[in-house]
Amino acid sequence: MRNYTQFYIDGQWIDPSEPRTAEVINPATEEVSGTISLGSASDVDKAVAAARRAFATFGESSAKERLDLLEAIQAEYLKREEELGEAIMVEMGAPRSLACGFHTLLGKGHLSTAIEVLREFKFEEQRGVTMIRKEPIGVCGMITPWNWPMNQTCVKIFPALAAGCTMILKPPQLAPYSAQILAEIIHAAGAPAGVFNMIQGKGSEIGTALSKHEDIDMISFTGSEAVGVQIQKDAAETVKRVGLELGGKSAWIVLDDDTMAANVAAATAGMMGNSGQTCSAGSRLLVPSSRMDEVRKVAAEAANGVSVGDPTGNVAMGPVVSKSQYNDIQRYIEIGIKEGAELIAGGPGRPEGLDKGWYVKPTVFIGTNDMVIAREEIFGPVLVIIGYDDVDHAVAIANDSNFGLGGYVSGTDLEACRAVAKKMRTGAIWVNGGFDFHAPFGGYKRSGNGREWGEYGFHEYLEVKSIVGWNPA
């Protein structure tokens, strides 16, 4: 049983202003796994004041000093990487191989990338008579989601530290354990008091207090579109910068060639990773209509081949994060059936033999792009396959969405894949797989604004100052 009832503020673990707690439920067992405290606006005030005091010094620190801090954090992270993975498995139900693998690798990768970028980053540049300086924006509020706890937290914290910002982290209430351990890591690394602060609690309270706070210069949020819109409204009162990474309904275009069947199988299985709880998941699979019979067979086999069960075992997919999430996904599956989509794998209810825990069947529909299940983000292991007539039709379907976060193109003709990728209105596209910590990530349209990852993530936390006359004309 984990009991995390203190907040990290001004370099110390302190009790909350009000003694309120909430239970954390293990989604695999539906049993209580621990307790956290729920913060209040008063706690936010304390943390912001600490961050503001710390910024007076940390904002003037040298790149070398910040590099030393990040490297110290890196050493502590490596010591506790396995512990972080175990926490992620318990808090949000990721299978151990995923939680102790890709989940923690992402956090470690964002840290090493921040170090790599900081070593070469130019904070000053002379252009003619003008000196252009990039300076830390100030105190940042960071609000992170539960689906990729280390990825979404580390991709904010480490570039912000590298830039010279101070911060207050509000971790997800559903998955708070890994953030607690990360705070302990940052403390052990010797971060100056007030540079990093963490308050657990409800997004509706802590997130709102951060967004409205007059002494916070920036909000970085990853989560749903509805919450992102509200944060923008709250932040508008103080004209602070807001970076948003929101929802997605990403299209995966499989080109018509001799690798189509293998690509369909890979895309189907990939959609089920992390129980489908990925904002950039390829949840709309676009395939040649002329080969739909083949697609139907391959996709059904791939989905039915995904092992689901206890995350402590050797499975590919664990539960979804909560009862609420489970119920929402079941609602969408029922909507798909009522809309007349063809159900070729999965469906309502839990997988056979799993009577406890928030497990969802890997589900695949064949439908059309005007269906609710193809328009709205389900955030679960539910794939919608849509047929296209030709490549231009595929691109039109892909772009016919309110979202524009991720995209995928698979095929043997690299030039054809590149041509398709150029036409897709989305922020990040993966051609035949691949991975790059330096590739900027963020959304078009209602998927948000701003970019994270690599050097582009640094710019989110910097202001640009022009000093004209630095050099005589």
Beta bridge partners of 334: none
Report CA torsion sign: 394, 397, 222, 276. Answer: negative
Among candidates 113, 274, 87, which has minimal Cα distance to 172? 87
Residue type, 431: V
- H or E element: which one contains 448? strand 448-449
3-state secondary structure of 63: helix
For residue 422, give every residue at least 6 positions away whose Cβ sits within 8 Å of its Cβ, in sequence order, or none.
none
3-state secondary structure of 247: coil
Q: Would you put residue 190 in left (φ > 0), alpha (ψ -120 to 50) or beta?
A: left
Per DSSP, helices labelled H in 16-142 are 41-58, 63-79, 81-92, 96-98, 104-120
Cβ atoms of residues 286 and 393 within 8 Å = no
Strand segments, DSSP code E, in 305-405 are 342-345, 363-366, 382-388, 403-404
Pairing relation of β-strands 241-245 and 448-449?
antiparallel
Distance of CA 223 to the CA centre of its chain: 7
Give the C-alpha separation, 23 to 37, whole Å.
Answer: 9
- H or E element: which one contains 375? helix 372-375
In the set 225, 245, 377, 460, the catalytic residue is: 245
Distance linking the first and last C-alpha atoms of the chain: 68
Give the C-alpha separation, 354 to 92, whole Å.
Answer: 17
Among candidates 255, 197, 301, which has minimal Cα distance to 419? 255
The reply to whether 245 belongs to the active site is: yes
Q: Give the count of beta carbons closer than 10 Å to the beta carbon of residue 279.
A: 26
Residue type, 341: A
Q: Which residues are annotated as catalytic?
A: 245
